Structure 1
Amino acid sequence: MSSQPPAPQPSPQAIKVLLLEDSAFDAELLAEELRAAYPRASLDVVQDGEGFAQALRRGSYDVILSDHELGGYSGDEALALAREHAAFVPFIFVSGVIGEDNAVDLLKRGATDYVSKGRLSRLPLVLERAMREVAERAARSNAELRLVAAKEEAERANLAKDRFLAVLSHELRTPLSSMSFAAHLLEKVATVPPKFGELLPTIRRNVALEARLIDDLLDISAITTGKLGIKPEVLDMRDVLGQVARTSQEQSDQKNVRLVYIPATEPAWVVGDDARLQQVVSNLVRNAIKFSPAGTEVRLEGHVDNALGQFVCTCTDQGVGMKPEALERIFGAFEQADGEVSRRFGGLGLGLAIARFLVAQHDGSLQAHSDGPGRGATFTLRLPLVQAGADVSADRPAAPAEVENAGKRVLLVEDNRAAAETLGLCLEDYGWAPVHVETCAAALAAASAQPFDIVLTDLGLPDGSGVEIGRALSRRLPVVALTGYGAAGDKSATTAAGFVAHLVKPADPAVIHDVLGQALQSWRRGAG
């Protein structure tokens, strides 16, 4: 029984071969072996270094065959030249003088393989292996190129998506600002017949709802790209829950749902982002009220579990409840308990996904429980407490002192005239003296022509970005952003440009008033 491997069958592949051989007889033998294995092969034969160099410059080859000893030229020189000009083309020595020792050295320097002229029958096997390696290398290279292209395309798509969401946010928030400011003013000065008394609060509530939907879209986008972060400080969760209970009262009254808040009986110090934790708890309470029928109760309760070292917050309702299989699904983006709930109550299904992500960022947990449809639900938030003995007093921000702002001049930069007019009226109502301009150039010209105490500017302006206003003026007076651009990158840009605060539209006029006052106070304190 023969132990020889079967001879390879002739390949239909058309290959182009360059042969460096100064013996016509040996070249003819090689040509016969080559064409027996590759009937469609084309062969260029050169006999010296000059011809070899010209051939490499002239054409592209699938494989190079070379003798090692040539008159006036060596295979070593040929290998070096081939690796320089055709680095990925297989280079096979066909020689009668190569031994094992120098063969290993040649392979280390880049030769693909070698064949002894006394065993030319090996040539088809060596060629087949070399061509297979070339094909595999080409496949890997193509795969790598496709991966790089796919990564670049994904990055371009992400940038396009971020740009779209940023523009969408700005375009939606600006008209919402106008409605919010107008509703605020009318509630203060207009006499509305009792029959229509709920119209203005309804407008204000729906503006806030639309703004939350925009925030959720931006937050879920930031989560998927790893750009949603937190700003930790030491805080008492009783303050967080108390604030949420106060701001949620109007929604519960409007829905005729009784909101019961039971605070923790002892301080509940945690390390967290105040605004983000309010967002989490507010989401739980809003959902509970939303999914509760009139006449029922929503219970928000906090307590300290010293045994586990945790603050525990529970939000319990008597609403629609959930099936067991929905308890985890509701924390997925764009998910709700079931289709019927989605049709009845609406919403994007983003709030709980964002809430759980934010809780995880605080090293906490957020779980849901329900005894079934129609039997209500309980959401339990757990956060690690600050270790005993930690000095928390220095970390708590001091309450801002009241600042007399009457008559303080505000340079208001806003290209939407309706929003500017209503905001200007709101600022005047709080005692400020706004001067309105619509462009970056007009803002810089106004700041040069007359004194101002503070600047309140949009970012998306017709002739550029309001960030440039901050760069130009922030050393002279405090600059606050009021804009529809609220992504993390936008806030980082304003901070880097010297802005003292960044408000996202639609902001409540009372909040704008407070932020302007605090910014002016901080500026005076720093200047003093």
Structure 2
Amino acid sequence: MDRALRILWVEDSAEDAELFAALLDDEGVAHAYDRVDDEAGLRAALAVTLPDLVISDSELPGFSGGHALRIVREVAPRLPFVFLSGAMGEDAAVLALQQGATDYVLKQNPRRLANAVQRAVREAEAMAERDRADRELMRAQRNEALALLVAGLSHDLRNVLQPLSLLPTVMRAKDDRATALRAADIVEEAARRGHDLAQAMVDYARGRRQEAPHADLADVLVSVRILLAGSVPRSIRIAFPHIDRGLRLAIDATSLQQCLLNLCLNGLQAMDGQAAGRLAVTVEVQHDLAGDVVRIDVQDTGCGIPADVLPRLFTPFFTTKTQGTGLGLLSCRRIIESAGGRLDIDSTPGEGTTMRLVLPLAPADTPASTAA
């Protein structure tokens, strides 16, 4: 390792901890350690600062390694946790791994400890780096989409403000209650549209995530359509399904909104310059080997994708756009797959493309997050 590790040792024997710490030093694993031997000590140590690794005996007086593992997983689900025990049988070791332990080492074979520690820390660092890369991908995709939406936003704002700018002239010309009531209705509708548009843009720009990772598909589709409204050319017809609220998917609403918006913008760009085109979103509930799923198709009648380009669409930084980042589809696929779904593409050059999301339904009676 290129730095000294911080190890938290859950061990009732100070002599054992010192002995095995010396063994790590002999194997070239630079580290410093603290030792605890009960639940209170473990919780207090984790509350101060998280170590790079926890090493725990399986049995301690009045405490157990299994209990220690549960506490660590509550506080830090991905913190490396290695059992070091002199009395752990094969069945107990397998159970520990199933419950979230990273590895186990028998005290009778201590030479494996250094390798187990180094591997556990490397895997945790690689996972953290992947998480950082995923966050960067999402930010890059969101920024790319926001750049495309700016023109549409200004168009929508003009549509909201135009009737408001005409009202003073109308009300001065017709000083009657009926005109005043109609003007009030127009102001109320314009305010509602302006609020919905602003809220959708703010939530999208922030990439807000909710506590409950379950999206109500009806709400997400409404927010996507609001965001798209100003970006659709007059030559393009757009069709969204009307579905009742209550169809909940096992994915964060903002993430789903981001994916659908990206796929819709891709479809609109594929039809750029066409005299006429159609972008359609369809929804279908299906049952497959994985259980109940929802299929969402985003279909355009654009130029299609050449056969030699299809295999490269999910390659980082590969793009056919003059100002694209080449990260949008890759980010979409990672989001969908992390939710247990999949993203498929069906395209025919000269005819159009269908981007297909297949996502699992959320369990019944789960709260839904919202995208706007």
In the superposition, the TM-score normalised over structure 1's length comes to: 0.32
Higher relative contact order (Cα pairs below 8 Å, separated by 6+ residues): 2
Larger radius of gyration: 1
TM-score relative to the length of structure 2: 0.45
